[in-house]
Amino acid sequence: MTAWSAQSVPRALLPVLIHEMNNGTQLLVGFRSLLDIPGGEVLFAQKAGELAQGSSKLEDLGFALAVVSTSSGANMLLARRERRAVQILWDLAVRTLERSGEHRVHTQGDPPELAPSALSGWEVPWAGAALLLHASEAMGAGDWRWRWEGGRLTGRLGRPVELDAADLAAILERVPGSQLCVEGETLTWDLAPDWVAAPA
């Protein structure tokens, strides 16, 4: 992602996304094969919790794929909305950075849950992943300390933040209504208040 573009997010995330979907599919095939062996039904029942976890992870990965595809112009998201959208894409971006061999990504707090009315459903989680990937590529993944507090993401670097203004503008144009401030050693991104879901 040395030259940032709208395709930087899919280019970064898709290899990890596909790898994790393949792992999930192999898990399901393994569970299916249990039913073909004597006594397999008992083993299958004993591993029901693992099957539920695997299915939940595949559901998240399916949502992430829909976001990535929709951001590239193929509307796979359609009317689907996901309260945990920012968390799903943030976690995928963290795994992408950590698998690349870079330093560990330091994050505190959890991203907010999204209201169904948050733009078209894909832009906010996409922008969160894009900011993390772009800032990490430009300044070093292991140097940032990220913190989520409600609808605010704060990144602290320990040295002056130097990010290309045009690249940041290209990310922010997808999320009109949010505010980004880069000042000294800190980056702050504030989501529009009406995008954040009320507590369940």
Q: What is the pLDDT of residues 115-158, one digit of tens each?
A: 999 999 999 999 999 999 999 988 888 889 999 999 999 999 99
Mean pLDDT, the chain, whole residue set = 86
Q: How many residues does the chain have?
A: 200
Specify the pLDDT at position 23.
86
* Closest residue by Cα to residue 160 from 143, 141, 179: 143
Closest CA to 156 of 144, 166, 169, 142: 144
Q: Please give the Cα distance from 195 to 24 (Å, whole number).
A: 31
Instruction: Give the whole-angstrom CA distance, residue 100 versus residue 112.
Output: 26
| Nearest to 145, CA basis, from 183, 103, 116 | 103
Higher local confidence (pLDDT), 23 or 129: 129
Dump pLDDT digits (tens) for 163-189.
Answer: 999 999 999 999 999 999 999 999 999
The DSSP result for 17-82, as a single string, is HHHHHHHHHHHHHHHHHHTTSTTHHHHHHHTHHHHHHHHHHHHHHHHHHHHHHHHTT---STT---
Average pLDDT value for residue range 109-113: 96
- Rounded CA-CA distance 73/62 in Å is 17
- The strand pair at 145-149 and 186-190 is best described as unpaired
Other C-beta atoms closer than 10 Å to the C-beta of 2 total 6
Q: Which pTM does this prediction carry?
A: 0.81
Q: Say what percent of the chain tops pLDDT 90.
A: 52
